[in-house]
Every structure is written in structure tokens, then in C-alpha cells.
Amino acid sequence: MRSRERFRARLATTDDDLRRAQALRHLAFVTARSLPARPGGLETDAFDAICRHVLVEDASADLAATFRFLPLTSGAEIGRSYSASYYDLAALASYDRPMVEMGRFCIRPGLHAPDVLRCAWGAMTDFVDREGVGMLFGCSSFEGTDWADYADAFAMLRERHLAPKRWLPRIKAPDVFRFAARLRRSPDRVRALKTMPPLLRSYLGMGGWVSDHAVVDRDLGTLHVFTGLEIGRIPAARARLLRASVA
């Protein structure tokens, strides 16, 4: 994979690489949220075994960020995805091009470096271009489980960013917040963007869309929305920036 300035993205190739990713996930998703520690200080699940894992390292080879991705040949395989555990994705089963689920993205707590996110997106862009991927998707998380903390963000999602009806995920999880049905307020744009997770802002800036409800994930202490991005709908100027985002 490629690099940019201080950071380099590469695929995990060893068990130690995977453990480093899982340890960073534990730090970001468990320790930082004061959740009960997991065995061995690792945040793991059954999907790790079928996903590819990306490490974003700094010049000292310290891990700055990580994410995993699951390539699918088409929507016919979408039931294999992590997202399908929480959303009814039957509408996407007819999608006839390669897809990739991107998930478990996290940056080392306390690290504030925009180039980390750009490097991660650059790595994903390389794969998308090589494999002819038509759609990226995943679960975009808000920290905490109280939707009122993000009322303006959810109002903006309802107003501007709902999935096309032909792809709209249906409710599957037992605990959800149906923001599209419940919120009728006009969003405060500044407050909405301030409270929107950075990864979700990136998706939306490229033309991404979301489900009409958020899942309450008490295991990880988050609210998350299904997020889709059709590669062919990314604005040309933004696509050029993505492809130029790494050296």
C-alpha cells in the first residue's frame, strides 16, 4: 500500500500485526470509553478472521490507526458482512458489482493528524480502483448511546443524507432510534457538523448516504448508522483528491 508524509498504510500480514490492530481498537473503543476490559486487552470478534486489516503507521512504525475491510463479489454476499448483523440489507442483495465493507476504523487516542485519515482513505482508494469496487459500506458510529447529544446531526442526516429508497436498509436490531420518523426539527448546521463523527463526514462529503435509523450498540457504547457510498457518484474533483491524497 501507499504512504503520505509521516504515515504509511499497509496490510496486516502476521498474527502480531492483527494483535496490534486489536490492541489499538481496545484502547480506542474500550479503554477510552471506560468500558469493561476485554480478555488480553484486545477488541476482537468473529469477523476478524474473514477480513483484511490495514495498519497506518508513523515514521517510527508506531500504530497510528487501523481499520478492516471485507471484499464481497456482489450484494448476493452481503449477508456475510458485520453490518448485516444489525440491519436488514435485503434491498442491497441485488447489487451486481463488487462491494467492500469498511469497519472498526480508529485512530490512536490523543493523536490529531488529518493526514492519518487521508492516508487511510488513500489505501482504501487503491483497493477500490484495483478491484473495480462499486460500493463501500459500513457502520458509522457516534460515541455514547444518547441520541439527544447528536440531535442536530441526526436531523441533518434525515434532511439531506438518507439512502435512496432502492437501497434503504430496514430495521433488524432490537434497540434502534428511528431518527427519520421521530425528528422534524431543522438542524443547526454548525452544531450538526461539530458532532458528526469524522469518518461519517468523509463519507457524506463524497456523496454517501445513511439508513433512516440508528442502532444502539450497548456492547461498544455507541449509536451507529448504516452508511453507503456508491463510487461512481463521488464528485470528480473529490475523486481526484482521493487519488492524489497519498504519495
Instruction: Please write the tens of the pLDDT for every residue from 95-115.
Output: 999 999 999 999 999 888 788
| Cα separation, 196 vs 19, whole angstroms | 29
Q: What mean pLDDT comes out for the span 170-182?
A: 97
| Residue 20: half-sphere exposure toward Cβ, Cα within 13 Å | 20
CA angle, residues 55, 153, 177, in degrees to nearest 5: 90
Name the more confident of 162 and 1. Answer: 162
Global pTM value = 0.92
Give the residue from 20, 4, 23 showing the smallest Cα distance to 12.
20
| pLDDT at res. 112 | 81
C-alpha distance from residue 94 to each of 47, 89, 167 (Å): 23, 10, 9
Q: CB under 8 Å to 114, separation ≥6 — which residues?
A: none
Q: CB under 8 Å to 10, separation ≥6 — which residues?
A: 1, 54, 55, 57
> Which CATH number does the domain housing residue 83 bear?
3.40.630.30
Number of domains present in the structure of the chain: 1
Per-residue pLDDT tens over the stretch 14-71: 999 999 999 999 999 999 999 999 999 999 999 999 999 999 999 889 999 999 999 9
Give the residue from 122, 8, 134 showing the smallest Cα distance to 72.
134
Per-residue pLDDT tens over the stretch 225-238: 999 999 998 888 87
Give the residue from 101, 82, 121 showing the smallest Cα distance to 201.
121
Q: What mean pLDDT comes out for the span 185-194?
A: 94
What is the percent of the chain with per-residue pLDDT over 70, rounded to a whole number?
Answer: 95
Task: Give start and end residues of each alpha helix (H) in 111-235.
Answer: 114-131, 151-160, 179-182, 189-195, 198-205
Residue in the block written with cell 428511528: 178
- Let me know if 40 is exposed, middle or buried by CB neighbors in 10 A (0-12, 13-18, 19+): exposed
| pLDDT at res. 247 | 44
| pLDDT at res. 246 | 47
| pLDDT at res. 235 | 85
- Domain, as residue range, for 40: 3-243
Q: Do 177 and 147 form a contact (C-beta atoms < 8 A)?
A: yes
For the cut 70, the answer to whether the pLDDT of residue 4 exceeds it is: no
Give the residue from 208, 199, 197, 247 showing the smallest Cα distance to 231.
208
| pLDDT at res. 245 | 57
**Count of beta carbons in the 10 Å neighbourhood of residue 108:** 18
| pLDDT at res. 1 | 52
| Cα separation, 72 vs 81, whole angstroms | 9
Q: What mean pLDDT comes out for the span 190-203?
A: 94
| pLDDT at res. 209 | 98
Q: Do 78 and 93 form a contact (C-beta atoms < 8 A)?
A: yes
Per-residue pLDDT tens over the stretch 59-88: 889 999 999 999 999 999 999 999 999 999
Which 3-state string (H, E, C) describes 72-89? ECCHHHHHHCCHHHCEEC
Give the residue from 203, 65, 50 showing the smallest Cα distance to 138.
203
| pLDDT at res. 6 | 80
